[in-house]
Structure 1
């Protein structure tokens, strides 16, 4: 990882977009919540929850230190999302194993690193 990722005090922002399958319209509104996890050897690490904005984007911001569990230094996280609609599980992504942050990160001065994990097509 680069110097930014090695700084455990640096913030990470993970973003993803959710689009309604067959409609090409963003999922949005208060009915939707997305939770981000890092699949770990012993237990999945909850990284945060986000609503969906008018573009269908979910934004998660957390300190980089959350990716370091102390037991195994997890330098390549295994992200996955769970999308809830009205409090019920509506969609769960596959686990994105060993996400190589150096290849997809952007650095935003004053904020930290921004990781964009892509667009997910979901049944509305």
Structure 2
């Protein structure tokens, strides 16, 4: 699967089973999974299937004001919970099939998956502190 580096945005081909090995970017050598990564139709199912930690997903769109406002809180949580959860952003405009598959009706929608199963979701943006507090129940 291809995972874009959250630091330099270079695409990296990794075997799904290597997700647990904390892979690094081939270009900038930063950890690939220590920040929000882009979820796509090509990699999302594999991310869910092979992640050894909960997967926190932000379903968003570039035109959505609340999504843009929430982005720094999501990035901060990804940094704070690095190694304890995998943070994925899915652009619902670019990945309409994924948005339909997961029945996304409003954005931002945050969903938490573990073992490939959705544990919980919430619609709307939270301030960073409240978002991290909400995540504590899953990590």
Whether these two folds match at TM > 0.5 is no
Greater C-alpha Rg: 1
Relative to its length, the structure with more strand (as a share) is 1
Normalised TM-score (structure 1)? 0.30
Task: Using CA pairs under 8 Å that are at least 6 residues apart, name the structure with larger relative contact order, 1 or 2.
Answer: 1
Relative to its length, the structure with more helix (as a share) is 2
